[in-house]
Structure formats: structure tokens, C-alpha cells
Structure 1
Amino acid sequence: MTLALRHARVRYGPLEALHGVTLTAPGPGLTVLLGRNGSGRSTALRALAGTVPLAAGAVVWDGADVTRLPAYERARRGLCLVPERQAVFGSLTVRENLALTPGGENAALAAYPQLEPLLPRRAGTLSGGEQRMLALARALSARARAVLVDEPTQGMAPAVAARTYALLASLDACVVLAEQRLPPALSAPRTVVLYELRRGTVVFSGEAAELRGRPNAQG
């Protein structure tokens, strides 16, 4: 199971955000896209998910070219995107958000028991970390084949963040995370594929130990 960009270019009006990016995320396993704001990491996630169109290049999933497949069809085939913002339905309660997930409330609460007392509250009233838990609980319980998450632990307490990375690493799926820096929880000897992006291009690909040995490393 692999999800890949092949010489992908993405434009926002006259500005090109990805300049011929090629990367491959194997699965089951974790791939991390590293980069500061404006590096193109979030755009790469959206290109894989189909929420932004390619100006050139291709998206390949399990050997099939899905470039022209709309985002909702990729979702039907098992791809789940958790964006950095607007990842939950703010006007619905936590319980109603979870009811929209194929895995249901029980599976979501098993991932994040902290959500149980929040079930009656509207999702829009939750803190940033609580909203991330809710969004990820839905993704984790959806049994997706590919899970793409932008800034998965933003606003979370350290213990909850560590649990989040453990949950993502345990999935039997192709998991792609967009991060500003390599999280300590993912820098252990386990195999994690890394790509570092700068200004819309890939400047490094490899593993954590290799990245840490480079000047100006993001980790």
C-alpha cells in the first residue's frame, strides 16, 4: 500500500506552492512531511487528498493514477484527511460529530476517554487541543486505508500528544503527518520515512538519524 506524488505542481493563482514534488508514503507505516509555514507540507497533504488540484504531475495510490479522482471518491476508497483547521463540525455536539464516523462513539472514546464528559458540548466551544482529539478520534475509528493529518497534536498536553503518536503509529494504514519539526516520540529507532520541504521543494528524504546529522536540521 503506497500513496505518492509524482512531479507534483500546485498553484494558488499566480503563485506556485509545489515545484515538482515527488514523494512516496509506504503503508502500513508513518511518513512525516517536515517544514516551516510556507514550505508546502500542508499543500502536499491536500494534493494527496484531492482537495487542491495539480497543475502538473500525478497522485498515485496503490499503483493507480488517481489524479483526476475527486476528494470525495478518494474518501470513499478509504482516504481520511484531518486538516489543521476546521476539522470538526463546530455547530454539532461532540456526540453528533462522533455519530458521523463509521467506527462510532465507542471506538472514538477508547482512543480518547477525555472526550466522554464533553459529549453534550458543541464542538465549536472546545479548546484547540480538545478539537484535535475529536478530529483524530473520528479518523482513528474510521478504519481508513490512508490517514493524512496536518499538525496532529497542536494544542495538546504532552501526555495526550505522546498517546496520539502511539495511536497513529499503531494503525494498519498509510499514515502521513505534516509537522514543523520532528516530534521526539517519532525519533526513536522505529522506521519513519521523512521528507523535509522548503519553499515547495523536497530538500531531504530519509530517516530521523540522517536528518539529525545535517546542518540546519528540522528535528
Structure 2
Amino acid sequence: MTISLRHARVRYGPLEALHGVTLTGPGPGLTVLLGRNGSGRSTALRALAGTVPLSGGAVVWDGVDVTRVPAYERARRGLFLVPERQAVFGSLTVRENLELVASAYDSALDAYPQLRPLLPRRAGTLSGGEQRMLALSRALLARARVLLVDEPAQGMSPAVAARTYELLSALDACVVVAEQRLPPVLRGRPAFVYELRRGVVVFGGEAGERAVYP
């Protein structure tokens, strides 16, 4: 199980955000896209998901070119994207957000027990970290074949962030996450890392090969 960008280019009007990026997320396993704001890491996730079109190159999923397959069809085939913003339905309650994915959601509450007392609350009233927990709970319930997550631990305490990465690392799926810096919990753990700068890949290797990212 793999999902890849091959020489991918993405343009936003006159600006090119990805300049021929090639990277692969194997599965089951965890791949981390590192980079500062403007590096292209979030655009790479969106390109894999099909929510932004390529101006060149290809998206290949399990050996099949899916570049022209729309985002909704990729989702039907088992791809789940958790964007950095608007990852939950703010006007719905926590319970309703979970029920959109599965009628039985105890496993999500076991993963994030902090959500249990928040079930009747509207998702839009939750803190940033609580919304991330809810968004990831929905992703866990979806049992995706490919899970793409932009800044999964944003707003979380260190303990909850560590728990989040334990959950992601244990999934039987191809998991690709985007982060500004390598999470401390991943140092010394099996994970493949790509570092992007200004829309190009400047490093690719195991997480332990580079302990510090500038």
C-alpha cells in the first residue's frame, strides 16, 4: 500500500507552490512532511487528497495513476484528509460529528476520553486541541486505507500529542502527516521523513538520520 507524488507541480494563480515534488508514503507506516509555513507541505497533502489540482506530474496510489480521480472518489476508495482548519462541523455537536462517520463510536472515545463529557457540546465551541482530538477521532472511525493529517497535534498538551502519535503509528494504514518540526515522540521511532523548502524536497530519509531540523 503506497501513495505517491511524482514530479508534482501545483500552481495557485501565477505562483507555483510545488516544483516537481516526488515523495512516497508507504503503508502501513508513518511518513512525515516537514517544513515551515510556505514550504509546500500542506499543498502536498492536498495534492495527494485531490483537493488541489496538479499542473504537472502525477498522483499514484497502489500503482494506479489517480491524478484525474476527483477528491470525493478518492475518499470513497478509503482516503481520509484531516486539514489544518475546518476539520470538524462546528454547528454540529461532538456526538453528531462522530455519528456522521459511524453509529458506534466507543473506540474513538477510548482513544480520546477527554471527548466523552463534551459529546453534547457544539464542536465550534471546543478549544483548538479539543477540535483536533475530535477530527482525529472521526479519522480513526473511518478506518481509512490512506490517512492524511495536517498538524495532528496542534493545540494539544505534550501527553495528548504523544498519545496521538502512538495511535497514528499503530494504524494499519498509510499515514502521512505534515508538521513544522519533527515531533519529539517520533525521534528514535520508525518513520520516514521528507523536508520541504519553498516547494522542493531537500531531505528524505529515516527520522533518526536527522535529529534536528532548522
How far residue 209 of structure 1 moved from its aligned partner, in angstroms, is 2.4
Equivalence for 1:149 = 149
How far residue 211 of structure 1 moved from its aligned partner, in angstroms, is 1.9
How far residue 110 of structure 1 moved from its aligned partner, in angstroms, is 1.5
Equivalences for 1:129-148 in 2 at 5 Å?
A: 129-148=129-148
8 A contact 1:8–1:19 mirrored in 2: yes
Whole-Å separation in 1 of the counterparts to 2:96 and 2:207: 39
8 A contact 1:31–1:176 mirrored in 2: yes
Instruction: Give ranges in structure 2 of 5+ residues lacking alignment.
Output: none
Is 1:46 matched up with 2:41? no
8 A contact 1:6–1:21 mirrored in 2: yes
Q: Could you report, residue by residue, the CA deviation over 1:59-106 in whole angstroms, capped at 9, with x for unpaired residues?
A: 000000000000000000000000000000000000000001137321
Amino acid of the structure 2 residue aligned with 1:218: Y
Equivalence for 1:161 = 161
Q: TM-score, normalised by structure 1?
A: 0.96
Is 1:61 matched up with 2:61? yes
Residue aligned with 2:164, SS: helix
Whole-Å separation in 1 of the counterparts to 2:113 and 2:88: 18
Is 1:191 matched up with 2:190? yes
Whole-Å separation in 1 of the counterparts to 2:7 and 2:33: 16
Whole-Å separation in 1 of the counterparts to 2:82 and 2:141: 13
Equivalence for 1:182 = 182
Amino acid of the structure 2 residue aligned with 1:104: A
Equivalence for 1:200 = 199
RMSD: 1.0
TM-aligned CA distance change 1:103 to 1:209, over 3 Å? farther
Equivalences for 1:1-219 in 2 at 5 Å?
A: 1-102=1-102, 104-188=104-188, 190-212=189-211, 217-218=212-213
How far residue 141 of structure 1 moved from its aligned partner, in angstroms, is 1.5
Amino acid of the structure 2 residue aligned with 1:153: A
TM-aligned CA distance change 1:7 to 1:37, over 3 Å? same
How far residue 111 of structure 1 moved from its aligned partner, in angstroms, is 1.1
Whole-Å separation in 1 of the counterparts to 2:154 and 2:165: 12
